[in-house]
Amino acid sequence: MLIKNKEHTIDDKFEMRGGNGTIHIKHVVDQDILCDKGRLYAQITVEPGCSIGSHEHVNEKEIFYILSGQAQVTDNGVKRTLNPGDVLVTGHESSHAVENTGAVNLEMMALILYGDEKHE
């Protein structure tokens, strides 16, 4: 299966999870391709000054891989700085928030996988 760049769906989320500005989500594959193992595989663009507000993951985990830019994250209440090549894993009943405090776009891959609990 080949999915061409022009076929990707892009969602623009304003004030995502209570954050600032607009977040651009480019879905790499549709959820059905994840074989009921997850709900998101996407490239996320966070423009300077924009953020994704704090939110919790229940019965799932989210993995961020930083492609470019710099992320200021709050990981279960602990502030951390992520740079290209860094990975953040947010597991079951854990929370995180992401902010781009830099001068260039923050680009990251996001993968949300289901935990052991069944998801409706």
pTM, 2 dp: 0.90
Structural domain of residue 70, as residue ranges?
55-86+110-115
Give pLDDT, residue 82.
97
Residue 19 is encoded by which pair of tokens? 């954050």
Rounded Cα–Cα distance for residues 95 and 75 (Å): 6
Residue 77 belongs to a domain:
yes
Give pLDDT, residue 120.
41
Q: What is the mean pLDDT of each run of 10 residues along the chain (120 residues)?
A: 93 95 96 93 98 94 97 96 97 94 97 71
109, β-bridge pairs: 43, 65
Total domain count for the chain?
1
Residue 47 is encoded by which pair of tokens? 């423009």
Give pLDDT, residue 115.
83
Half-sphere exposure of 87 (CA within 13 A, CB side): 6
Residue 93 belongs to a domain:
no
Residue 41 belongs to a domain:
no
Give pLDDT, residue 116.
59
What stretches of 37-85 show up as alpha helix (H) in DSSP? none
